[in-house]
A and B are shown apart, each in its own frame.
Chain A
Amino acid sequence: MATEVLMPALSPTMEEGTLAKWLVKEGDTVSSGDILAEIETDKATMEFEAVDEGVIGKILVAEGTEGVKVNTAIAVLLEEGESADDIGAASAPAAKEADEAPKAEEKAPAQAKAPEAPKADRSPDWPEGTEMKTQTVREALRDAMAEEMRADANVFVMGEEVAEYQGAYKVTQGLLDEFGAKRVIDTPITEHGFAGIGVGAAFGGLRPIVEFMTFNFAMQAIDQIINSAAKTLYMSGGQMGAPMVFRGPNGAAARVGAQHSQDYGAWYAHIPGLKVVQPYSAADAKGLLKQAIRDPNPVIFLENEILYGKSFEVPVLDDFTIPFGKAKIWREGTDVTIVSWGIGMTYALEAAEKLAEEGIEAEVIDLRTLRPIDYDTVIASVMKTNRCVTVEEGFPVASIGNHLSAYIMQNAFDYLDAPVINCTGKDVPMPYAANLEKLALTTTAEVMEAVKQVTYR
């Protein structure tokens, strides 16, 4: 059967083009790969090759013709034994298909309508009456890894100085002794490379814990974290993903300057396919890290150097985890909701104590995970207090606080008695000088001031 040669699309955006030149004439025999014509697209002049073999029966569009629409028949190709008289029987059923406009479904975005207070999950993280012991965040993280490594032989930890040095911040202390060099692996200083090897190991069936000495250095590896780890499950139609944890200290330490002092919570929380954890207490650090290691998705686990040495009460249990997307209310109150996470909780809790002395009762919520976020707990609280202040260490533009403000506005607008205020780090690279560094970070005083603003005191 004679086939039509159609005007090809030669770029992702081409809709029409110029048939600049024919390199064959009627009666020529062509085989696949032969160049038929030169076609000018919106970007370049391209050679157009034959796919099928046959004889050029008729040229339908003369060279020099401009504005030839994609999928217009430009020539007719005859098979062996056919003559030009057969032309007319040829058809191009596929052309129509390509012209069909994509069926856009009208779907209104989720609207806030007559909101009711959502049911927040207020179940206890561990049974009432559980024995508790005092532990630092550092020890809790180490125990979480050790417990999960005992439970699953495919869990291993890799990173700079995690093994023989016992961890740059001593978080992996003792793991080499217990689990050996096969499972506690010192890497060269090569974040991009070992993050990618970690992703490949996860594809290959292992459960890697990749430690970054600090998350500042993970910027070298962020392509592997986002393009390879976060997106593969989706890109593979659910066939495979990267069950792994990227962990390490995040945010400002003390007096280490701009390149070593940044909070990446908002960066990673932006990415579908990642889960993002930023714990404050030792118990949460332990329960959430164990959960992260078991989670079948890539998890960003943002620790904090200043919190490593802080002690908290941790439940004495053989095994406990804390689910993602469940905030913790540290302090109940009726006058204002303070939402924070990670080291921001230090300022939030301190401010709440001092405010109580002044007769303002703040409800303090620790989000614990930034993806997923426990919106229900936040909204339920704001509906009660009608005011909200967020506290974080990250930069102000496109911060988590900004996102929460928008969410609250859309879902609890009628309940707000004041605009939400975001307490954040200042919009500057971290300075080194002690006085300036202090000024660059958010402070308890700023949180108190914000609360007074939203409560009109």
Chain B
Amino acid sequence: MATRKSAAKSNVSADELKSYYRDMLLIRRFEEKAGQLYGMGLIGGFCHLYIGQEAVVVGLEAAAEEGDKRVTSYRDHGHMLACGMDPDGVMAELTGREGGYSKGKGGSMHMFSKEKHFYGGHGIVGAQVPIGAGLAFADKYLDNKRVTFAYFGDGAANQGQVYETFNMAALWKLPVVFVIENNQYAMGTSQQRSTSSADIYTRGEAFGIPGQVVDGMDVLAVKEAGEKAVGHCRSGKGPYILEIKTYRYRGHSMSDPAKYRTREEVQKMREEKDAIERVRHMLLDGGHATEDDLKAIDKEIKDIVNKSADFAKESPEPSLDELYTDIYADVLPQGDAIETEEA
């Protein structure tokens, strides 16, 4: 695998490559730490780890511009880290503490950042898809040339509201990239057992939405496809579908023993396809980085993740008064009034 080339012909710089390596590693180490804290009982409830899928969000964030929006499902930690949210705040939300992004009131599945244009974190499979189109609707209405990434899985791709949304997004030419993160399992049901057509990206054809399949274990291929999709949306041509083939190494959630697939299948993906290893080899083989350079990045990431875990343990639980706050807004929570041209 050391000599494998990226499918993408990107003229990517060493610095960019290093930043993708760093960003993917941050997600992986963060998720491993989250798994550990879950095991210690510090994180409760459901906890869906993103390990294995890192190249999807890192590649697409590389194609995004400031002000672009994103919305996803409950497997959301990677998306938050990739769009620049603070690992401390994310981890502290996982532990249900005051320092979390939602003051401990949202949890792993429900986190948001207005500042980073991250609109959740949704616990209901598929519900984020019309919401993503709605964000794009607002951008089109406000004519601000922004694009929304609406992420969902191969499982959610079978929800009816996805197709209701495809129809309206195409009809109204909404600037939304529908990102299908196909990790091949809808919880415990494989794509073969749940999905009548093998190629989910072709499901937009009936609505006139172009789509393509992308190797989600290759961050450069994801970035290149993302740039194409974003360009399509930003130029006013309407939505675009990316089916990104990826793989989650862990169970659906922390309590999933993953008996629906073999250990060998997982090991094979890890050994042969791992997105982080791929970039690592590109850096070393291309002479863009030395082992010591990468060790330094590893160390930096380890420190960030350990700091986030410490923060998440030390941050106090929310004050009991918080039970009754944030149910209703007294003023527009968006705060920043949005200017529009005269109607």
Cβ of A111 < 8 Å from any Cβ of B? Answer: no
Contacts of A11 in B (CB 8 A): 254-255
Cβ of B133 < 8 Å from any Cβ of A? Answer: yes
Give A48 to B111 CA distance when docked, in angstroms.
Answer: 27
Give A196 to B105 CA distance when docked, in angstroms.
Answer: 23
Cβ of B264 < 8 Å from any Cβ of A? Answer: no
Contact among B123, B168, B338 with A197 in the assembled complex (CB-CB below 8 Å): B168
B135, A183: Cβ atoms under 8 Å?
A: no
Contact among B104, B120, B161, B338 with A232 in the assembled complex (CB-CB below 8 Å): B120
Contact among A44, A49, A188, A241 with B35 in the assembled complex (CB-CB below 8 Å): A49
Cβ of B285 < 8 Å from any Cβ of A? Answer: no
Given A41-B255, A240-B334, also A196-B161 (CB < 8 A):
yes
B338, A205: Cβ atoms under 8 Å?
A: yes
Chain B residues 31-60 with CB under 8 Å of chain A are 32-33, 35-42, 44-46, 51
Contacts of B120 in A (CB 8 A): 232, 235-236
Cβ of A118 < 8 Å from any Cβ of B? Answer: no
Cβ of B212 < 8 Å from any Cβ of A? Answer: no
How many contacts A-B (CB < 8 Å)?
240
Chain A nearest CB, measured from B291 CB (Å): 16
Give A14 to B326 CA distance when docked, in angstroms.
Answer: 31
Given A33-B249, A193-B130, A193-B167, also A105-B320 (CB < 8 A):
yes
Cβ of A122 < 8 Å from any Cβ of B? Answer: no
Chain A nearest CB, measured from B292 CB (Å): 17
Contacts of A205 in B (CB 8 A): 138, 142, 334, 336, 338
Contact among A47, A71, A223 with B40 in the assembled complex (CB-CB below 8 Å): A71
Chain A residues 359-394 with CB under 8 Å of chain B are none
Contacts of A194 in B (CB 8 A): 130, 164, 168
* Contact residues of B: prevailing secondary structure: loop
For B339, give the chain A residue with the smallest CB separation. Answer: A153
Chain A residues 89-112 with CB under 8 Å of chain B are 94-95, 97-99, 105
Chain A interface size, under 10 / 10 to 19 / 20 to 34 / 35 or more = 35 or more
A70, B325: Cβ atoms under 8 Å?
A: no
Contact among A6, A14, A35, A296 with B329 in the assembled complex (CB-CB below 8 Å): A296
Contacts of B338 in A (CB 8 A): 154, 205-206
Cβ of A237 < 8 Å from any Cβ of B? Answer: yes
Chain B nearest CB, measured from A123 CB (Å): 20
Contacts of A47 in B (CB 8 A): 257-258, 263
Give A105 to B323 CA distance when docked, in angstroms.
Answer: 12
Cβ of A227 < 8 Å from any Cβ of B? Answer: yes
Given A105-B320, A192-B130, A233-B326, also A203-B38 (CB < 8 A):
no
Contacts of B161 in A (CB 8 A): 192-193, 196
Contacts of B193 in A (CB 8 A): none
A-B pairs with lowest CB-CB distance, top 6: A200-B134, A196-B130, A204-B138, A193-B164, A8-B39, A11-B255
Query: 7 more A-B contacts (CB under 8 A) besides A49-B35, A228-B124, A228-B127?
Result: A154-B338, A156-B141, A197-B134, A200-B132, A238-B325, A275-B328, A296-B333
